[in-house]
Amino acid sequence: QVRLVESGGGLVQAGDSLRLSCAASGRTFRIYAMGWFRQAPGKEREFLAAVRWSGGGNTIYADFVKGRFTISRDNAKNTVYLQMNSLKLEDTAVYYCAADSRPYFTPGSMANAGSWGQGTQVTVSS
């Protein structure tokens, strides 16, 4: 199956930027879409963004991150990125990468993706 490894998290100040990376290995030919989720302590996992792996690489975003977060792909490197700008305290969470082989492309379908990374911690302080 697909193995996903996130990196790029860290401790930043409010207003700063971070770029998260998710490197895929294994059966990457099975990937239809990749996405990002996050989970804050005591809260449920929430969808952030997703990108179709093939074709034009169209994207979808959660409304609350649109305009601040940008998802992108580098198929040659089997890597997906999440550029996060203007970070807020409420962005503090563990950020997870997901990959799905099914031919669906919605927040709901990505929530049931077949492969998940281990997560990378993002902490935003004032």
Q: Is the pLDDT of residue 77 over 90?
A: yes
The structure tokens listed for 97 are 């990468």
- Considering the chain, what is the average pLDDT of its residues? 96
pLDDT number for residue 4: 98
> How does residue 56 score in pLDDT terms, banded at 50, 70 and 90?
confident
Instruction: Return the percentage of the chain with pLDDT > 70, whole number.
Output: 100
Spatial distance between the Cα atoms of 8 and 79, rounded to a whole number of angstroms: 13
Segment 109-121 shows an average pLDDT of 97
